[in-house]
Amino acid sequence: MQTNFSSAQLADPHVAESEKILRKCVHCGFCTATCPTYVTLGNELDSPRGRIYLIKDMLENGRPADKEIVTHIDRCLSCLACMTTCPSGVNYMHLVDHARAHIQETYKRPLLDRLTRAMLAFVLPYPQRFRAALKLAKLGKPFIGLFEKVPALKPLAAMLKLAPASISVASPNALPGVHAGQGAKKGRVAILTGCAQSVLDPAINDTTISLLTRLGVEVVVPPGEGCCGALVHHMGREEAALASARQNVDAWTGAIDQGGLDAIIITASGCGTTIKDYGFMLRLDPAYADKAARVSALAKDVTEYLAALDMPEPVRKPGTVVAYHSACSMQHGQKIIRQPKELLAKAGFVVREPREGHLCCGSAGTYNILQSEISARLRDRKVKNIEATGASIVATGNIGCITQIASAAKLPVVHTIKLLDWAYGGPKPDGVPEERGRG
């Protein structure tokens, strides 16, 4: 694509980066076919190619964002299916991240939208605040129907609907410390304790620590870890996202300096995509660029790490039929496709893949709160495809997808690691039936 930025504009490294991305796009439109919002809404402006044109126009003309561009960029899930499809290697992720930051800087949203976004950014990345908010949400649940009738209050209704009925107690494993591996030492890793996942399902990391240590891997929870920054990053709040990135880079650099790390284990693929991008996000900060690149290189989804370990034979082969839902951040963001399925199959599960596996379930960070109607349409489409597999359970590697799919599916939805842990001698995950191979 031809671009017309002035040399003064290109002196801004963010604009220069976006210009490089824009020039790669050849307008072929292949990406439209796999874009969930285009498939759902049928509007070119809600396709990757349409958004690329809108972003180009805004940046090239040095214009502040307007209502039209905000509408179509807000509808983008950042699922990155377009990057998987694109034959020209267009880095849509970095382009839309830049557009979101530009919107945040130049566009004044309506008051309630601003308040909702500020509240999400204030609460979700902080487990204590999130836990308190979930307790408050119980009081708000009777008013969901009322809030749904007022367009500006729909995000509040969506939040209340997603809030779980019961809240788990905080896990002591989220506190800084070292979990020694059993038997011959196979490795030393840090684990991201994260934010929302540690409140919604602390058992995911507990199970991960239990399985890794049983396999002989020492697991470190370094002091100072926090939210990866993805939630605010996707809202265009760049300074907050970079502050989270720096905090985590400091925490993991400390752990690398004190004993070394083979990997930084991440159990939520949405976080993994962002942490693997820290090297890019902090490339302009001389104090952090190298350290951030080192952290990004060490970041591994737990299934990516396990697939590279010499896994023993499972203790039991459950034979349960599992529909594997590949989170967008797993398949498109990190290109982790086969490892989770191969691990599940090796552990004795019968793995089935739902149709339209490339399409997002509609979770996408805070998307299911801020764009609840499109999100619900995508969720229902996803659940229908999952249920058509005839599986007894759904496995996936991202807490956002677990919450989203479980809000409509009749099947139990569990993190992949819980099924692997069960096969390797851990307890059976809640709600999972035991059955012998129907597949």
Binding residues (CB under 6 A) for ligand SF4: these are 25-31, 35-37, 48-49, 51-52, 76-82, 85-86, 88, 90, 92
Burial class (CB in 10 A: 0-12, 13-18, 19+), 149: exposed
Burial of 255 (0-12, 13-18, 19+ CB in 10 A): buried
Q: Which is nearer to ligand SF4, 30 or 126 (CB)?
A: 30
Q: Compute the 3-state secondary structure of the chain and give helix, strand, coil in percent, each to the nearest 5.
A: 55, 10, 35
Alpha helices (H) along 30-110 = 36-41, 48-60, 67-74, 81-85, 92-106
Closest approach of ligand SF4 to the CB of residue 290, in Å = 29
Distance CA 384, CA 423 (A): 28
Distance CA 418, CA 302 (A): 12
Measure the CA dihedral 44/47/52/53, to 10°: 0
Backbone angles phi, psi at 396, to 5 degrees: -155, 165
Dihedral in degrees, nearest 10, Cα atoms 17, 21, 22, 25: 170
Full DSSP string of 248-307 = HHHHHHHHHHTT--SEEEES-HHHHHHHTTHHHHTTT-TTTHHHHHHHHHHEEEHHHHHH
What minimum distance in Å lies between the beta carbon of 81 and ligand SF4?
4
Q: How many C-beta atoms surround the C-beta of residue 438 within 10 A?
A: 11
Which DSSP state fits 330? I
Whichever of 222 and 270 has its CB closer to ligand SF4, that residue is 270
Cα 242 from Cα 252, distance rounded (Å): 15
Task: Output the smallest distance, CB 378 to ligand SF4, in A.
Answer: 10
In whole angstroms, the minimum distance from the beta carbon of 417 to ligand SF4 comes to 26
Query: Closer to ligand SF4 at the Cβ: 82 or 336?
Result: 82
Minimum distance between the CB of residue 40 and ligand SF4, rounded to whole angstroms? Answer: 9
Smallest distance, Å, CB 234 to ligand SF4? Answer: 11
- Nearest to ligand SF4 of 79, 249 (CB atom): 79
Burial (0-12, 13-18, 19+ Cβ within 10 Å), 168: middle
Token pair of 43 as six digits: 């509007």
Q: Give least dist CB 324 to ligand SF4, A.
A: 20
The C-alpha torsion from 108 through 109 and 110 to 112, rounded to 10°, is -130
* Minimum CB–partner distance for residue 131 and ligand SF4 (Å): 31
220: three-class secondary structure by DSSP: strand
From the CB of 24, what's the least distance to ligand SF4, in Å?
7
User: With respect to ligand SF4, which residue has the nearer C-beta, 246 or 276?
Assistant: 276
